[in-house]
Chain A
Amino acid sequence: MILIVAEHANGKLSKSAYELATAARGLGRGDVAALVLGSGVASVAGAAALIADQVLVGDSAELAQYDAEIWSAAAAQIANEGEAEVVLIAGSRSGREYSPRVAVKLDAPLLEDVTSLKDEGGVLHAEHYTFLTRVTERVEAKAPVVVVTVKAGAFAPAEPGTVAAEQFDVDLELPKRRLVVTGSTKEKTGRIALAEADIVVSGGRGVGTPEGFVQLVEGLADQLGARAVVDAGWRPYSEQVGQTGKTVQPKAYIAVGISGAVQHLSGMNKSKVIVAINKDGDAPIFKIADYGIVGDVKEIVPAMIQELRK
């Protein structure tokens, strides 16, 4: 059995779950089981039933909120009971946080944030980025069970089928929550999650002021249905948090008022298209750009927003 742990948010199955299903099918190793963890997750489990061969549902109040120890215990228990050969977990912040615990519990190798995955005679072969995504490393692991986290956007999302797979409720032995969450600041609602964004608009020093950021960078992002981010080294760290260490691989990365190389978003240099807008034509960003305009961002970006509205 291949086990995928299906993430969801706001009552919807995440894009990553569909991508995991594709990665799992590509191994050609038989049944794909989806594990859904949460509280009140019937609709999510229903969606998972259209991409998996069976759905295992852990639905309880204890699972209302993610916790690394609880999630890893659940995933490891199900992997053990189902004799999973491969456990696929999304390369999200949480996925990459609890997956190492699953690997240790199962005494399994961990392949992190893979961009490709295949089975060659019982050996799992994968590729992943290293050295701040500048290098692609080819790795292999052979073990009775291997834990794999899958990079967002690396696999095409699976098309849901028309026949729903059977669902089973599972009894989970869960540890007590030890990291107590005492408050949370959600990102602005209505904006697309960073990992799911096809287009990322990043604002740097050239944007000038926080007001400029809202007007230009967020303005352009909203017009494109994209996600706005703050370039490293410009605004205080507190405004960048939630970005460092996150992996993205958007179709387009639009750098507004950024002169140098961009490293804070792991994977951005693998974007299909990089666009740069900057007043200095000698800025290094233009050397890694596919398209660009040398000009004042305060003139160019509003003109782009105008053009897109047409």
Chain B
Amino acid sequence: MRILTLIRQVLDAEESVRVRNGAVELEGSKLVMDTMDEYGVEEALRLREAGTEAEIVAVAVGPARSEEALRTALAMGADRGIHVVTDTALDAIALSAVMAQIAKAEGAELIFCGGQEADWDSQALGAATAERLGWPQATWTSALELKGTTLVGKHEADEGSESFEVALPAVVTTQQGLNEPRYPTLPNIMKSKKKEIRKETLEAYGVAPKVKVNGVEIQVKERLKKILDGKDAAGAAAQLVKMLREDAGVIA
């Protein structure tokens, strides 16, 4: 079986966000593989370690530097990479058209994708890719195993969680808690340098953005910082409740 894991390179969550010329400035900041995508690579590796014969292919669409994120996936244990090199920023619906074409060409049967991407705050890529392929999807997956050709797992619904079964081929989107991604070991990092990353151009896929971005703003809301000393617990609690009622008007 061939498993695709979709990889996006994003700003490290610990980094501060800066805006320049109407866009978030990424140069000079620490960029990493999206944590959500790490769960996907890890889960693919675990399916293989549990006995499923699989080739794991990491796929990224993005500028030249995205290769670093692909290398991380290869160092974790993915077998090879595909990098569609482009500086064009694609929205999730447009990007899904590239992903679906790659999945078809590769004959993939299972795709892992992040539940919510850290730079877009988008949850659309997995579902849109599944739709284009005519596959079902399991989103926000928190547990997964493969029994024959059926995925058995747990995922989150609007209220509470559900156990599910779905036959391959399928798209699975991840969430925190699906697994604990491994750190690449030094020998695996060395090995990953020899692994193949196939370079392609976006033009080959005939895809253009569907949404135009007009600008970004960082909104820092000034906070009041009215902090009380809690040595007198009852007194401080009474004062806080009074402030929330009368000044902030947030409680009845």
Contact = CB atoms under 8 A, between A and B. Distances in A.
Interface of A: 9, 66, 68-69, 72, 92-94, 96-101, 103-105, 108-113, 125, 128-141, 143, 178-187, 193, 198-199, 224, 232, 237-238, 240-242, 244-245, 251-252, 263-264, 266, 269-270, 272-277, 281, 286-296, 299-300, 303-304, 306-308
12 contacts: A93-B139, A97-B127, A98-B127, A100-B128, A181-B163, A273-B248, A290-B225, A290-B248, A291-B240, A291-B243, A293-B240, A295-B229
Interface in B191-243: 210-219, 221, 223-231, 233-234, 236-238, 240-241, 243
Contacts of A299: 230, 233
Contacts of A304: 237, 240-241
A137 B213 contact: yes
Contacts of B160: 184-187, 242
Nearest to A10: B159
Nearest to A279: B230
A108 B229 CA distance: 54
Contact of A178 (B118, B122, B136, B226): B136
Contacts of A286: 225, 227
A287 B216 CA distance: 24
B233 A296 contact: yes
Given A130-B216, A131-B121, A242-B156, A306 B234 contact: yes
Nearest to B247: A291
B24 interface: yes
Interface residues of B, number: 78
B225 A244 contact: no
B24 A237 contact: no
Of A111, A245, A304, the most chain B CB neighbours within 10 A belong to: A245
Name the prevailing secondary structure of the A interface residues. Answer: mixed
Nearest to B94: A109
Nearest to B117: A130
B165 interface: yes
Of A179, A266, A274, A281, the most chain B CB neighbours within 10 A belong to: A179
B64 interface: no
Contact of A104 (B128, B161, B231): B128
A259 to B, nearest CB: 14
A195 to B, nearest CB: 8
Given A98-B127, A237-B142, A294-B228, A134 B161 contact: no
Given A132-B121, A178-B166, A274-B223, A294 B128 contact: no
B156 A241 contact: yes
Interface in B119-175: 119-128, 130-132, 136-140, 142, 156-167, 175
Given A128-B121, A252-B250, A290 B216 contact: no
A284 to B, nearest CB: 12
Contact of A101 (B115, B131, B161): B131
A15 B225 CA distance: 32
B59 interface: no
A191 to B, nearest CB: 10
